[in-house]
């Protein structure tokens, strides 16, 4: 690696700020102005330095890219999903960056078996070709994609800069041409009314918060659109959708800790959205419409007195009448209920237990007991993730499931409710000599200082010799109750086949172990997230699985905050740290209510602007604030995007500048035409992954390692 004495140095321009009597001098806040030519020049200089510093990895990058490409079935299609009178699917074509969205008509009304769709199928109708839409752009992202129930119209939106502001279009699927309806500056989530006369869509405020739902009558100008709801509280987001029964339009209004749902009966589109339960601070709930024994009911997943949530069944026309409530699924500690879905004859329940996702079926019955027992669908791997998806039809008799594990490629099943049978519809093709039996997955546990047991999920290539220290990539996130579940990855094979163990530390702040697991890693308990990750690393080291010289840490976004904190508190545990779009200037961002999404974040991190205790606590861990001159940092690669609206590029830019000032070997790479998710286009994304993995392997001393071949 190039000597870091030659690395760029950002100019220091002291900028003081004072909160709660504490004055901070920020030398690099000037990097926030991305329209300043000096800022652009600095980012370009850092990019050039990163490229020159990793020039020796060019061959390895190309090898990894070629391996990803060779293992991927480039011309492929998804399993068709029935919606109305059509089967809908997407397909990809070798050499093209983006997907193509298509459909074919049903053979007959009772056609419930997904058809085999071959290349050049004469029945195929192309609804939207993302490759065509993306022509002439450096970035392309599809947001909304909703087909009207009658199949005549498509509402879709696109973002061509990465700033998550989408232009909404209406396509006439009978002619294949777009109508005059064009709505700029929308947010994903456009939804047709059942009769396709109206499309509802969200927009964002200046802080990028979806705050307003609009009603657009098809065939009219966007200037005539009506705002049907605006949420004034800056902590809350809004979204709109349609129940599977198509009986209700649903407004979901939610902060991090409180929610409210409003329904509009689609039999009266000119009416008003009605509140189901008035919002109460700290009470979260979701609503699903069901028809139970001929009566319209609402199934409400909620945490009112139930930490890990419960499901109650209430009358649709009087949801506040507690005398008519029934408990469908009672609260059970350790079973975190996440979702219930209703169909004409059955329900599905999704929940977590023992750190893994689960799905159960509840059959609807007649008589005095309208609900059958909770019947969990079993799976036999020690680690896996499963969820429902592709189930838009009210009367379908099967449940579409998505299943994967560290070693099992993404798999689509149809579960028959009638006879409890599972039909394999598709398993992700892995080209070449991939054999799942060549790999092993397991879960181990680390014990934190307070006695909490932290799960660690691992996958590696099987080896014959006894366990010895092996190169390890340790991934972590730990925020927003988001769970990082064990799933398959084609690019990851390039690491595993070079002898790397991939591990996920399921740290507190995530949702893997229930609501309490999340609560113990947020607000004034946030440091548990960081110490849990270090504890997981120590377990892997002390058990002889790896060594600090062989272990690299990885995390992105809020997981990038984790990376920055770990770099400060345990720099000696890792040979390198990969921080992707990292939230490393957390205190500065959360102090400024004018920045995108800040006020919403106060329920996650606390409000340092108005609370001195929160300010002091956040200042004690915020990575940028705590870079030290007296420790030796491992090599760090920070990757960001200029147009990211969720974690502004300035955070990793400032962090890298401060680290460089402290003598740390840091590389900063800024994608100049991308957003929070990085570059667009599958080939460009593969190049990005290859670049990051090549750096990781180099830090482990495997820069010249060839992949193991099956024999």
CA-nearest of 36, 87, 4 to 649 is 36
pTM of the model: 0.94
With residue 506 as reference, give the H or E element that holds it: none
Q: Residue 354 falls within a domain, yes or no?
A: no
Entry field: residues in the chain: 711
CA distances from 625 to 167, 322, 522, 615, 629 (A): 38, 50, 19, 12, 12
CA distance linking residue 199 with residue 217, whole number of Å: 7
Q: For residue 317, is it within any domain?
A: no
The answer to whether 214 and 221 have CB atoms below 8 angstroms apart is no
Q: In angstroms, rounded to a whole number, what is the distance separating the alpha carbons of residues 543 and 444?
A: 10
Of 283, 316, 336, the one marking the end of a domain is 283
| Judgement on whether residues 474 and 619 belong to the same structural domain of the protein | yes
CA distance 616 to 21: 11
- Same-domain pairing of 638 and 496: yes
Measure Cα distances from 228 to 166, 188, 240, 251, 370 in Å: 20, 17, 11, 10, 36
**Which residues neighbour 528 within 8 Å (Cβ) at sequence distance 6 or greater?**
448, 452, 507, 508, 509, 520, 521
Residue 153 CA, distance from chain mean position: 28
Q: Across the chain, which distance is largest between two alpha carbons, in Å?
A: 79
Distance of CA 580 to the CA centre of its chain: 14
For the chain, give percent helix, strand, coil, nearest 5: 25, 35, 45
Active site (annotated) includes residue 83: no
Question: Which of 129, 149, 165 delimits the end of a domain?
Answer: 129
DSSP secondary structure letter of residue 500: P
Is residue 483 domain-shared with residue 588, that is, in the same domain?
A: yes
- Whether residues 603 and 484 share a domain: the answer is yes
For 281, other C-beta atoms within 10 Å of its C-beta total: 7
Residue 503 lies in a domain: yes
DSSP string, 546-613: --GGGEEEEEETHHHHHHHHHHHH-GGG-SEEEEES----HHHHHH-TTSTTHHHHHHHH--TTT-HH
Can you say whether residue 651 is alpha, beta or left, with left for phi > 0 and alpha for psi between -120 and 50 degrees? alpha
Distances (CA, A) of 259 to 248, 253, 287, 303, 307: 18, 6, 11, 11, 15
CATH code (residue 159): 2.130.10.120
Whether 308 is in a domain gets the answer: no
**Domain boundary pick from 283, 313, 340:** 283
Ranges of the chain whose pLDDT falls below 50:
1-2
Say which DSSP state 675 is in. Answer: B
Are residues 176 and 141 part of one domain?
Answer: yes
**Bridge partner list, 100:** 91, 129
Does 644 qualify as catalytic in the annotation? yes
Contact call for residues 518 and 481 (beta carbons, < 8 A): yes
Tally of domains within the chain: 3
Same domain as 602, residue 556? yes
CB 667 within 8 A of CB 54: yes
Neighbours of 582 (CB within 10 A): 31
Dihedral sign, Cα of residue 115, residue 118, residue 123, residue 129? positive
Alpha carbon distance 84, 87 (integer Å):
8
Radius of gyration of the chain (CA): 26
Report d(CA 379, CA 374) in Å as an integer: 16
In a domain? residue 326: no
CA 134 to chain centroid: 23
Same domain, 655 and 684: yes
| Residue 39: closest CA among 589, 578, 560, 648 | 648
Q: Is residue 325 part of a domain?
A: no
522 with 629, same domain?
A: yes
φ, ψ of residue 501 in degrees (nearest 5): -95, 130
The Cα 85–Cα 104 span in angstroms is 9
Give dist(CA 571, CA 389) in Å, integer. Answer: 41
Q: What is the DSSP letter of 106?
A: -
Measuring CA to CA, which residue among 302, 296, 301, 299 is closest to residue 317? 296
pLDDT score for 254: 97
**Cross-strand bridge partners of residue 413:** 401, 424
Q: What is the per-residue pLDDT for 367?
A: 78
Residues 118 and 178 in one domain: no
Residue-wise pLDDT for 90-139, tens only, equals 999 999 999 999 999 999 988 899 998 876 788 999 999 999 999 999 89
Give the whole-angstrom CA distance, residue 307 versus residue 700.
42
Which residue among the candidates 146, 644, 680, 698 is catalytic per the annotation? 644
- Angle in degrees, 0-180, between the axes of helices 527-542 and 558-569, rounded to the nearest 10: 60
**Marked catalytic residue, from 457, 557, 622, 641:** 557
In Å, how far from its chain's centre is CA 659? 29
694 and 553, same domain (yes or no): yes
pLDDT for 704: 80
What pairs with residue 296 in β-bridges? 291
Q: What are phi and psi of 109, to 5 degrees?
A: -65, -30
Closest residue by Cα to residue 459 from 533, 405, 403: 405
Question: Residues 556, 663: one domain?
Answer: yes
**Run of H or E including 682:** helix 682-699
In 89-163, alpha helices (H): 130-133
Contact 362, 372 (CB under 8 A): yes
Provide the pLDDT for residue 589.
Answer: 94
The DSSP 8-state label assigned to residue 333 in this structure reads T
Is residue 534 situated within a structural domain?
Answer: yes
Which of 402, 418, 428 lies closest to 81 in space, CA to CA?
Answer: 402
Q: How far is it, in rounded angstroms, from Cα 700 to Cα 551?
A: 7
| Residues 581, 560: Cα–Cα separation, whole Å | 7
pLDDT confidence of residue 98: 95
The full 3-state SS of 240-277, as one line of letters, equals EEECCCCCEEEEEEECCCCEEEEEEEHHHCCCCCEECC
- Map residue 121 onto helix, strand or coil: coil
675 vs 198: CA distance, rounded Å: 30
Question: CA separation (Å) from 559 to 392, 585, 670?
Answer: 33, 13, 18
Residue tagged active-site, from 405, 483, 676, 698: 676
Query: Are residue 57 and residue 106 in the same domain, yes or no?
Result: no
Residue 5 neighbours by CB under 8 Å, 6+ apart: none
What is the span of the domain harbouring residue 85?
74-129
Question: Does 420 fall in a domain?
Answer: no
Active site residue 101: no
């Amino acid at each position: 690696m190039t000597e870091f004495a030659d690395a760029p140095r950002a100019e220091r321009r002291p900028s003081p700020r004072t909160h709660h009597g504490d004055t901070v001098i920020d030398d690099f806040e000037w990097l926030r102005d991305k329209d300043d030519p000096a800022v652009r020049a600095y980012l370009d200089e850092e990019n050039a330095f990163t490229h020159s510093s990793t020039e020796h990895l060019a061959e390895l990058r190309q090898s990894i890219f070629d391996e990803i490409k060779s293992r991927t079935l480039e011309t492929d299609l998804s399993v068709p999903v029935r919606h109305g009178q059509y089967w809908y699917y997407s397909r990809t074509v070798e050499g093209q960056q983006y997907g193509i969205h298509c459909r074919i008509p049903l053979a007959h009304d009772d056609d419930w078996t997904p058809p085999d769709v071959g290349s050049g199928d004469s029945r195929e109708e192309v609804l939207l070709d993302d490759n065509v839409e993306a022509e002439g752009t450096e970035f392309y992202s599809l947001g909304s994609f909703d087909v009207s129930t009658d199949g005549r119209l498509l509402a879709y939106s696109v973002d061509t800069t990465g700033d998550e502001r989408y232009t909404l279009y209406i396509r006439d699927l009978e002619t294949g041409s777009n109508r005059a309806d064009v709505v700029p500056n929308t947010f994903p989530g456009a939804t047709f009314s059942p009769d396709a006369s109206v499309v509802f869509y969200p927009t964002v405020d200046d802080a990028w918060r979806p705050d307003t739902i609009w009603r657009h009558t098809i065939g009219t100008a966007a200037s005539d659109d009506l705002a049907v709801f605006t949420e004034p509280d800056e902590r809350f987001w809004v979204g709109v959708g349609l129940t599977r029964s198509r009986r209700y339009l649903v407004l979901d209004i939610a902060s991090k800790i409180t929610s409210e749902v409003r329904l509009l009966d689609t039999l009266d589109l000119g009416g008003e959205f009605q509140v189901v339960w008035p919002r109460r601070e700290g009470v979260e709930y979701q609503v699903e419409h069901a028809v139970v024994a001929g009566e319209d009911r609402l199934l409400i997943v909620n945490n009112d007195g139930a930490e890990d949530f419960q499901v109650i069944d209430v009358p649709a026309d009087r949801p506040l009448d507690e005398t008519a409530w029934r408990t469908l699924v009672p609260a059970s500690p350790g079973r975190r209920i996440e979702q219930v879905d209703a169909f004409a004859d059955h329900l599905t329940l999704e929940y977590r237990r023992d750190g893994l996702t689960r799905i159960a079926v509840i059959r609807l019955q007649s008589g005095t007991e309208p609900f059958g027992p909770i019947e969990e669908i079993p799976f036999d791997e020690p680690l896996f993730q499963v969820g429902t998806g592709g189930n838009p039809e009210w009367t379908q008799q099967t449940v579409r499931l998505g299943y994967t594990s560290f070693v099992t490629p993404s798999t689509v099943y149809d579960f028959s409710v009638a006879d409890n049978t599972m039909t394999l519809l598709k398993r992700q093709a892995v080209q070449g000599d991939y054999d799942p039996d060549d790999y092993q997955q397991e879960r181990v546990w680390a014990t934190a200082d307070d006695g909490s047991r932290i799960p660690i999920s691992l996958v590696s290539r099987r080896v014959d010799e006894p366990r010895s220290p092996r190169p390890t990539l340790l991934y972590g996130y730990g925020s927003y109750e988001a769970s990082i579940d064990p799933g398959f990855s084609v690019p990851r094979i390039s690491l595993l086949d070079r002898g790397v163990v991939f591990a996920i530390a399921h740290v507190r702040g995530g949702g893997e172990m229930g609501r309490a697991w999340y609560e113990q890693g947020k607000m004034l308990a946030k440091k548990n997230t960081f110490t849990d990750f270090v504890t997981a690393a120590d377990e892997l080291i002390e058990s002889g699985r790896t060594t600090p010289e062989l272990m690299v840490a990885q995390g992105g976004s809020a997981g990038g905050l984790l990376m920055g904190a770990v770099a400060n508190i345990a720099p000696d545990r890792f040979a390198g740290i990969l921080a992707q779009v990292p939230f490393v200037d957390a205190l500065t961002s959360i102090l400024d209510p004018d920045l995108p999404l800040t006020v919403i974040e106060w329920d996650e991190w606390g409000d340092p602007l108005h609370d001195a205790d929160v300010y002091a606590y956040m200042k004690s861990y915020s990575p940028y604030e705590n870079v030290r001159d007296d420790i030796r940092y491992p090599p760090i690669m920070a990757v960001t995007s200029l147009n990211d609206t969720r974690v502004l590029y300035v955070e990793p830019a400032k962090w890298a500048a401060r680290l460089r000032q402290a003598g740390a070997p840091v590389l900063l790479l800024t994608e100049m035409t991308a957003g929070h998710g990085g570059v667009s286009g599958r080939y460009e994304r593969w190049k990005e992954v290859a670049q990051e993995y090549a750096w990781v392997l180099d830090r482990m001393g495997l820069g010249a390692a060839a992949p193991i071949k099956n024999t």
